Amino acid sequence: MIRTLVILAAGLTLTACATTASTTNANAGADPVPMPEPQPCAAEAYQVLVGQPVGGVHTDSLPRPHRVYGPGDAVTMDYRPDRLNIVVGEDGSIIEVKCG
C-alpha cells in the first residue's frame, strides 16, 4: 500500500514538472511584449501661457495628464514625460510650462 502511494506521488510530481517545463519552453521563443513608450507632453505648444494669469487658463482644454501648481503646493517628485506641468508664481501668473 505504501509502495503504491510513493509511486503515485512520484508520478504526480513528474507530471507537474513536465507540464511546467513545456509551458516555459513554449513561451521561451516568443519575444516579450514591449511596453509602449509614453508620448512626450506638448509643453512647446503651451508656452504662450507663460506670463498670463492662471485664472484665464481653462484646465478642461489642457491635455491629460496635467497639473497646475504653485509655490508651497505639495506635488509628487515622479517624472512622467507625458504629463504637462504648469507652474504658477507668487503673483498668480504662469512662470513655467514643462513636461514631467
The pLDDT-based confidence of 5 (bands split at 50, 70, 90) is very low
* Residue 84 three-state SS: strand
Mean pLDDT score of the chain: 81
Against a cut of 0.75, is the pTM above it? no
Burial of 94 (0-12, 13-18, 19+ CB in 10 A): buried
pLDDT for 97 equals: 96
Q: How far apart are CA 16 and CA 96, in angstroms?
A: 60
Length of the chain as a residue count: 100
Which has the closest alpha carbon to 99: 56, 60, 62, 51? 62
From the options 1.10.8.60, 1.10.3720.10, 3.30.10.10, 3.30.56.10, give the CATH code of 43-99: 3.30.10.10
E-assigned strands of 15-89?
66-69, 84-88
